[in-house]
Amino acid sequence: MARKLGISNWRNLSKDKVLKFAAAMPEMATEARLELIEQFPAFKDLGKADIDAVAEAHKSTLAANENSELFPPSG
């Protein structure tokens, strides 16, 4: 699996590769999935960090949208 993600070992799993890893999990055998997750306890933390980043981007977008409605461009 590490080769499929283009990493030499699991310590090199970056945030962008976590999503690819998660997407590939349904293709794996159940035992293989469980073993990988046991070997990679920080998987949950990386996933949570990604979700938190998306939530912050969403909040920022909503705030920018609200500001644009309050002060429409003149012209």
pLDDT of res. 58? 94
pLDDT of res. 36? 75
- Contact (Cβ atoms closer than 8 angstroms) between residue 14 and residue 45: no
pLDDT of res. 2? 66
Low-confidence ranges of the chain (pLDDT < 70): 1-2, 4, 10, 12, 39, 41-43, 73, 75
Torsion angle in degrees (nearest 10) through CA of 36, 42, 44, 45: -160
Q: Would you call 75 helix, strand, or coil by DSSP?
A: coil
